[in-house]
Structure 1
Amino acid sequence: MNHSSTLMWSEAHDAGQVVRRQFQANKVLMRSLGARLRANRPRLVLTCARGSSDHAAGFGKYAIETRLGVLVASHAPSTSSIFGKPLSDLDGALFLVISQSGKSPDILTSIAFAKEAGAFVVAMVNDAESPAAKAADVFVPLHAGPELAVAATKSYIASLSAIVHLVAEWSEDQELLSALEQAGDHISDAFARDWSKLGDALLDAKSLFVIGRGLTFGIAHEMALKLKETSALHAEAFSAAEVRHGPMAIVGAGFPVIMISPMDEAAASFPALSEEFSARQARVFASGGPLPGAIELPTLSGLHPLVAPLCQVSSFYACAEALARARGRNPDAPPWLNKVTETQ
């Protein structure tokens, strides 16, 4: 099996094209949605998602809070589906659903409760015929096309770009809209970047940390998930602000650490943290700029801070696919996993 024969490689490779297609197809929809949100001025955004989609929601939290100053919180779908607890007092709130399939029962129950509580429901979903897409007040199609590999790649990046598009239109940020218009090309470029040094270092690894902060915190969680999913490699994601509190105790000589530095003010804490990892003789790999004691992963520079994370995860997907094969695994069909997980 070579990389070009795996669905994961092919689908991740297509992410740049997906983002280009999505941006053009959703222009009118997003402009209208942005105007509606400016007029209604939501006092709160509640995100509702699972798995990779929830990692996209984590990115959305920082994108919305830093660009629009609106509080974002995560709704736990099980409070609706398992505990049956209705939501209340959501008049004026935006309930943002992110899902690949739009079929999970807990997500659907949460949508129903949110609408009953007065929320405005926007669903970013890849399947236009899904129940979630039809139940939402506004459906934002991801335009990722069929995704057959169990590990989500292009649909995750499509979720990120849809969030960026929403933020750009809501805030009327022309600079961000211009950056997003070029994002597809940058994502394709990033996919071709050589992160093989990281893959080589993880070939026999058993555990590692992935560090992010702010806009890259959700990206770090997604990377950790993909390493578990495709390579059966235990990976934990931490914020650069929190990893010193206890997790640092297990870092020793040779312990792998991936640092995904954001391209904004949150990057300031990364150099000192990299020095601390290096002092413990950890094997540190850095994306987003050179860091003390770290092996630099080739990363596009000069990008808009909200677009850069999409490129960083694109480069990572190419690396993760190759690593899974090198570890003797099929990245398209991890054991015991299904493409759609319908949780209650």
Structure 2
Amino acid sequence: MTQTHMAREVAEIPAAARRLLGEGRGAIEAAAADLRDVNPAFVSTVARGSSDHAATYLKYACELSLGLPVASIGPSVASIFGARLKLGGAACFSISQSGQSPDIVAMAQAASDAQACTLAITNQPDSPLARASRNTVPIMAGPELSVAATKTFVTSALAGLAVLAHWGRDDALIAAIDALPDQLEAAARLDWSPLRDALLARDSMYVLGRGPSYAMACEAALKFKETCGIHAEAYSSAEVLHGPVEIVGGDYPVLVLAARDAAEPAAMGVAEQLATRGAQVFATSDLAKAATRLPFVATSHPLTEPLALITGFYAFIEQLARARGRNPDTPANLRKVTETT
């Protein structure tokens, strides 16, 4: 097979991140300045699919860096049910690669009509979503031809994180963000072949994370389904022992996406419990003992590290799909833009 669109787009993630942080910096700083002036009491998010996983990541990032609570709004609240939410004095972040999905646009417009400080994070700055929003940050990812989103996910999450960092004038986080493109480049070259070999004939698994990395576990589980046909389920490492552990039998595969943050010891404690029970556990942590350690790129801030984790994962999952005899660019039942009402 010739190089897939997905492989090419994963390799383009560092350049897209540099473009966003360079050419897109003005839009990032303008949105952040507006949010500072408005000083919202809380933040809401509107998204679906991979974009909703980016929103989950930004929920943790916002709550941890700014101390502002974040709520996810179901787009159908506006598009199907016609409810009017009391969003005056709030911020609302809408995330969509295409900026075209009618339900996302309807909810963003409803938030703007309710006098929320609305922000569109999109790859299409002239899209209906951008027109429905007070501010727009173009993610500047360039064309993405693979059905499975990779560089648009990373740049969407990075765009939102950069807005939060500039909003809070967090110099340490801004510096870590500016250093991230080189680290993403290194992450895209990591070798996760032990995990690839373990999953060649598997059809079910768990992906675990905690805190911001839980969002990456959700995104990874989706990509296992989209590209490999593997029924992967994502859980917080704090939840998996409550009930889901019941189906973790001998050699059951588990991937733990652990970042160098306050949640790492707890997440790895669960990883080790599962490994000692016979599960085949792979983890991105130096704390792995019974679990198999996967290589990772450490960044200079806990909130940037999940973006390096998912970039390394994307390179791996494209390779796994091809090793399983699948073309990740042409899943049987999916198309690039899904427009829900």
Name the residue aligned to 2:77: 79
Q: Distance in 2 between matches of 1:326 and 1:215?
A: 30
Instruction: Give the superposition deviation at 1:302.
Output: 4.6
Per the normalisation by structure 2, the TM-score is 0.98
Letter in 2 for 1:223: A
Change (3 A) 1:96 1:302: closer
Deviation at 1:274, TM superposition (A): 1.6
Tell me if structure 2 keeps the 8 A contact 1:251–1:282: yes
Count of residue pairs the alignment pairs up? 341
SS at match of 1:261: coil
> Does 1:154 pair with 2:142?
no
Say which is worse superposed, 57-66 or 26-35, in terms of deviation. Answer: 26-35
Indicate the residue corresponding to 1:169 in structure 2: 166
How far has the Cα of 1:140 moved from its partner?
0.4
Give 1:241 shift.
0.8
Regions of 4+ moved over 3 Å: none
State the one-letter code of the partner of 1:93. Answer: A
The structure 1 residue matched to 2:183, chosen from 175, 183, 186, is 186
Paired position in structure 2 for 1:208: 205
From the superposition, tell whether residues 302 and 180 of structure 1 become closer, same or farther in structure 2 (CA, over 3 Å). Answer: closer
Q: Secondary structure at the match of 2:274?
A: helix
The alpha-carbon deviation at position 111 of structure 1 amounts to: 1.3
Amino acid at match of 2:293: E
CA contact (8 A) 2:38 2:117 kept: no
Cα RMSD for the two superposed structures: 1.1
The one of 118, 125, 132 aligned to 2:122: 125
| Superposed displacement of residue 164, structure 1 | 1.5
Q: Is the 8 A contact 1:53 1:159 kept in 2?
A: yes
**Are residues 288 and 127 of structure 1, via their aligned partners in 2, closer, same or farther at CA, if it must alter by over 3 Å?**
farther
| Distance in 1, Cα, partners of 2:111 & 2:35 | 17
Per the TM alignment, residue 35 of structure 1 is displaced from its structure 2 partner at its CA by 2.3
Q: Is the 8 A contact 1:270 1:291 kept in 2?
A: no
The separation in 2 between residues aligned to 1:124 and 1:244, in whole angstroms, is 35
The aligned counterpart of 1:90 is 87
Deviates more, 1:96-105 or 1:129-138: 129-138
Distance 2:299 2:22 in 1: 23
AA of the residue aligned to 1:45: V
Structure 1 position 241 matched with structure 2 position 238: yes
Q: Structure 2 residue aligned with 1:36, among 16, 34, 37?
A: 34
| 1:279-302 deviation per Cα after TM superposition (whole angstroms, max 9, x unaligned) | 211010001433231111110125
* 1:136 to 2:129 alignment: no
Amino acid at match of 1:62: Y
% identity of equivalent residues: 45
Q: Which residue of 1 aligns with 2:12?
A: 14
Q: What are the Cα deviations for residues 148-203 of structure 1, in whole angstroms up to 9, with x where unaligned?
A: 11000000000111122011101101111111111111001100010111111111
What code does the residue aligned with 2:81 have?
A: F
Distance 1:134 1:242 in 2: 40
Amino acid at match of 1:228: K
Q: Distance in 2 between matches of 1:178 and 1:284?
A: 34
Distance apart, 1:29 and its partner CA: 2.3
Moved more, 27-36 or 143-152: 27-36
CA contact (8 A) 2:31 2:136 kept: no
Paired residues of 1:199 and 1:323 also in contact (CA < 8 A): yes
Partner residue, 2:44: 46
Give the distance between the partners of 2:322 and 2:212, measured in 1 at CA: 29
Match of 2:61 among 57, 60, 63: 63
The structural deviation recorded for 1:141 is 0.2
Distance between the aligned counterparts of 1:139 and 1:36, measured in 2?
Answer: 11
Which piece of structure 1 moves more, 48-57 or 176-185?
176-185
SS at match of 2:164: helix
Decide which of 286, 294, 297 is 1:297's aligned counterpart: 294
Q: Are 2:221 and 1:224 equivalent residues in the alignment?
A: yes
Q: Deviations over 1:194-237 (max 9, x none)?
A: 01111111110110000001110110000000000000000000
